[in-house]
Amino acid sequence: MKTGWMLLALIIGVTFSLSGCASSGTATPAVVDPTVEATITIPPTEYPTATTPQPAVTVLVAPEGSDPFLVDELQLALQDVVIEAGMQFRTNQTLLEQDFQNDTIQVVIALHPESEIESWVTLAPQTQFLAVGGVEIEPSANTSVIRSPANLLAIKTFLAGYIAAMITPDWRIAILSDANDSNGKNLSQAFTNGAHFYCGLCRSVYPPYPIPGYPLSMEIGSNSTPADLESVMEYFRTWHVKTIYVAPPVDNDELLQALSQAGFGLMAGRKPPQGLQSGWIVSLVDQNPAPMVLALYPDMVAGNGGKSMELMLEMHDVDSSLFTPGKQSVAEDLLIDLLGGFVGVRTEP
């Protein structure tokens, strides 16, 4: 009997033990299907759009009618220094308001810009301007000037008359000027005064004897016909003219070539036409401004305006068999006196 109660107690204890393990044991982990992948969406990061700044620009303004030799030389001289300054370089005939709005124009180098530069300076005060040949333009905070003396054309013509008389036997010289230019008669008088400064009354020893004497002067229109030019040349032949100074603006290639082929000795305020074979005596030209432009360019890039330099007159393309070194020296001394105001240049008789 005692043995039976012991067996019953053992069975009941085992039963309670198994029941407690089932209720308090560790939970069975969930089974994850390995074929299912988690998808995580990350929104794109937005960055501000970077704008590439437009490079600054240097502009050479060469209006129609500018000296092609000077334009070519300035273009060649400026290209490298502009690139070294980190800018673009271009050449325009003019500038409009939209050019300053559309581009970052930092430097403008303008040839003979009297009629436009004042409006440009007001329109673009942040731009540095260099006026080359601007007689009436005054330097300012954003404007520099390479100017010619106000009476340089008269000085050039006076000197031409002096040289022509010095190299021509019996003073048989003449000036050919523009019939449509109100300044043509003044230039003729400056040439005559220059000749008389050398030879006084310039009375020829041998005939023919024109009245009132040498130098002679003739005018021709810039739109003249071949018949007009032939009439002028016949007039010069009649009076045995040997040397002619051709004043601007009629000193074009065609006219100079025709006079050269007719056997006249020639002088002008420009270089001889390409291919001119004979008869060229001297070119009386403005000093080349390219070295001055290069000297002022770093200041303009740095924003420093208000500079002023002055162009002189130079003699090039010399026929030294006629215009000998000794005579050149005499003419150079006179030029110094003319530019210094020690010899007056009159445009009246």
The average pLDDT across 243-255 equals 93
**Each residue of 58-80: b (16+ CB within 10 Å) or e?**
bbbbbeeebbeebeeebeebbee
Tokens 């300044």 correspond to 183
pTM of the model: 0.72
Q: How does pLDDT run across 105-120, given as a tens digit for each residue?
A: 999 999 876 667 888 8
The average pLDDT across 261-268 equals 95
Q: How does pLDDT run across 280-289, given as a tens digit for each residue?
A: 999 999 888 9
Q: How does pLDDT run across 55-95, given as a tens digit for each residue?
A: 899 999 998 878 788 899 999 999 999 999 999 999 999 88
Q: How does pLDDT run across 118-166, given as a tens digit for each residue?
A: 888 888 999 999 999 866 788 889 999 998 887 889 999 999 999 999 9
| 3-class SS of residue 177 | strand
Cα angle at 337 between 157 and 313, to 5 degrees? 50
Cα angle at 219 between 213 and 220, to 5 degrees? 150
* Pairwise CA distance, residues 331 & 314, whole Å: 11
* Pairwise CA distance, residues 227 & 51, whole Å: 64
* Domains by residue range for the chain, with CATH: 57-147 (3.40.50.10850), 152-279+319-340 (3.40.50.2300)
> Diameter of the chain by CA atoms?
184
Would you give the distance in Å from CA 312 to the centre of its chain? Answer: 18
- 34 pLDDT above the threshold of 60: no
Listing from the earlier edge strand, what are the strands of the sheet with 128-132?
88-92, 57-61, 105-111, 128-132, 143-147, 308-310
Token pair of 5, please?
């109660």
Helices (H) and strands (E) in the chain, counts: 10, 12
Pairing of strands 143-147, 308-310: parallel
- 44 pLDDT above the threshold of 70: no
**Strand partners for 107:** 58, 128
